[in-house]
């Protein structure tokens, strides 16, 4: 049975929120405010709120995944052979890298800009705060590069199946809700088979990164041989396009 790992992400996000909140208190009460204490406390508080929001995001995903896994009559439950999995994992790995790159440009760019301000224009305590913020930006960069690799390893080791319901899909151990915070489902289409790839259901999503950056991405679920007719029915049931 496919395990629901989203609850582990909830726990990790709440732990991160607790750590950043402690750093906020330590910065506020132990570091001189005009020497960088206020800046460190603000950044830590911002990361506390962000981690808490991420936890809420994963709580929603975990609940949707529980509902999908418990659905007694999903639209489809397909299992894939081991040899057909690697190509799908590599494609999703590249997509994940692109999404992380866009997110780092927004968050990392903000941290670098604030760090340069402290390095260039703030006297006492400014260089130390700037160096801390630059170091944290480097840490986020490393995280943005490592997490796709970790997700790739997880996908290879995950159960190789797809469960499709009206609430969302679970594909190779990952859940994609049709209704979620900052991620919007745009629709479904049927990709016909050709010489390069088998038939597939393409679930299109849009992710809001920052305030103005919209990042579209697709979840491509291969259709097993003999299930093409059922795939077309699923597209129609979900209001999609079968003419692609």
Percent pLDDT > 70 in the chain is: 93
Which helix (H) or strand (E) segment holds residue 173: the answer is: none
- The mean pLDDT value for 223-238 works out to 92
For residue 108, the model assigns a pLDDT of 86
Angstrom distance (rounded) from CA 244 to CA 224: 18
Angstrom distance (rounded) from CA 58 to CA 236: 29
Give the dihedral sign, CA 51/215/237/189.
negative
For residue 48, the model assigns a pLDDT of 93
Angstrom distance (rounded) from CA 53 to CA 67: 22
Angstrom distance (rounded) from CA 182 to CA 207: 6
- The mean pLDDT value for 141-165 works out to 85
- The mean pLDDT value for 108-127 works out to 83
- Give strand ranges (E) for 76-212: 76-79, 161-164, 168-171, 174-177, 183-191, 200-209
All structural domains of the chain with their residue ranges = 1-80, 82-159, 182-244
Q: How high does pLDDT run on average in the chain?
A: 85
Could you tell me where the DSSP H helices lie in 71-84?
Answer: none
- The mean pLDDT value for 139-150 works out to 88
SS3 content of the chain, % helix, strand, coil (to 5): 60, 20, 20
Angstrom distance (rounded) from CA 135 to CA 41: 16
Contact 231, 190 (CB under 8 A): yes
């Amino acid at each position: 049975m496919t395990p629901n790992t989203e609850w582990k992400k909830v726990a990790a996000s709440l732990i991160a929120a607790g750590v950043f909140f402690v750093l906020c208190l330590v910065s506020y009460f132990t570091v001189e405010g005009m020497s960088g204490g206020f800046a460190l406390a603000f950044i830590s508080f911002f990361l506390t709120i962000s981690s808490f929001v991420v936890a809420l995001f994963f709580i929603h995903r975990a609940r949707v995944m529980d509902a999908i896994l418990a659905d007694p009559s999903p639209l489809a439950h397909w299992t894939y052979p081991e040899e057909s999995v690697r190509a799908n994992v590599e494609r999703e790995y590249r997509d994940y890298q692109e999404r992380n790159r866009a997110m780092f440009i927004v968050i990392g760019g903000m941290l670098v800009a604030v760090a340069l301000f402290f390095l260039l224009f703030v006297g006492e305590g400014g260089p130390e705060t700037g160096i801390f913020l630059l170091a944290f930006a480097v840490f986020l960069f490393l995280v943005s590069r490592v997490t796709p690799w970790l997700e790739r390893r997880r996908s290879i080791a995950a159960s190789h199946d797809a469960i499709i319901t009206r609430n969302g899909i679970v594909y190779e151990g990952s859940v994609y809700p049709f209704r979620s915070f900052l991620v919007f489902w745009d629709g479904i289409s049927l990709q016909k088979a050709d010489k390069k790839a088998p038939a597939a259901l393409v679930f299109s999503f849009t992710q809001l990164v920052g305030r103005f950056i919209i990042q579209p991405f697709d979840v491509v679920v291969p259709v097993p041989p003999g299930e093409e007719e059922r795939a077309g029915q699923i597209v129609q049931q979900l209001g999609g396009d079968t003419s692609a």
